[in-house]
Amino acid sequence: MPCSAVTLSLATITAIVAVALMAIAFSTDNWLYVEVKRTNIQSYAAKHNDANSQNLLDNLNAKYYYFTRTRGLFRICYPKERPPVSLIETYLSPVETHCNNVDYFIPDENNETKEFNEDAMARLHMARSTVALFIVAFFTVFIAFWTGVVGCWKRSPGNVTATAILLLVTCLLTAGAMALWHGVEFYEKEKVVGEEYYQQWNNLLRDNCRVWYDWSYMVAWCGVGLSLVSAILFSSAAICLRGEREREEALNMQYLMPVYPQKQQYAYAGYPPQHYPAGPYYHGSQYGPYNY
């Protein structure tokens, strides 16, 4: 089997899996898992009957970030207890979890962002850019699909090479989106960008909260890696196709080469060349050039 057929098959399968993984990660809500030990906070507030404890109890049921939650690019979901309806309006997601939308302030109808500090605005711009880069990456994948179909149908090294370049661009775009997402995470943890983020949390909330990366985050990075592998495989397939085409053209040239007749000497029947009669031969002479 030609190497181009095997490599193209592997490249196509890898690209399909990569796009599927990126789409799953983009649309699901399990990038971060934030576990809040509400029972510990309630026990502490019950033991210390002071103003600080009363404030903790009030916030425990009045602030959404005192609830265990998962977070994606578009939604914040509550797999355990959910905030009261009076606090925040939630809805059922496609996987039957109560969620509320992440606010990107697009459009900013009430001009709420004018009160944001510089760090908060930087975080917001990075969060918006993360989503934008993923959308552009899906657009390049869409174009790569058509160039790949044409390349496989026509066995065209040029189209296959274009597909490899587009998938490499997709990999770079999604890797950039992941880098921006980590930038958002850094700002939320290390900068003052809002009361719902780590720097402005109560110390007791910090001590009773655990944050880790969830499965959507892992799936996203797998998609980025497989898109790079697919780009390499398509590039290898283009090299194989080009090599096979050159070998076919060289083989066809052998059949197209003209064959010229060569001059040959013909002898009389039964006589070797050295016994040819000397002198000119006259038509009609039976015994040679002279008649006696």
pLDDT score for 112: 85
Report the C-alpha gap between 34 and 96 in whole angstroms: 19
pLDDT score for 267: 47
CA quadruple 56, 60, 62, 67: dihedral positive or negative? positive
Q: Spell out the residues 6+ positions from residue 66 whose beta carbon is closer than 8 angstroms to its own.
A: 36, 38, 41, 59, 60, 205
- Does CATH place domain 3-245 in 1.20.140.150? yes
Stated pTM of the model? 0.80
Alpha-carbon torsion angle 209, 213, 214, 217, nearest 10:
150
Residue-range domain boundaries for the chain: 3-245
pLDDT score for 266: 47
- CB count within 10 Å of CB 223 equals 25
- CB count within 10 Å of CB 154 equals 12
Q: What residue ranges of the chain have pLDDT lower than 70?
A: 1-4, 50-51, 249, 254-292
204: its two tokens: 């007791």
pLDDT score for 63: 87
Q: Residues 265, 268, 272, CA angle at the centre, nearest 5°?
A: 75
Q: What is the DSSP code (8-state) at residue 132?
A: H
Report the C-alpha gap between 136 and 180 in whole angstroms: 14
Report the C-alpha gap between 67 and 87 in whole angstroms: 12
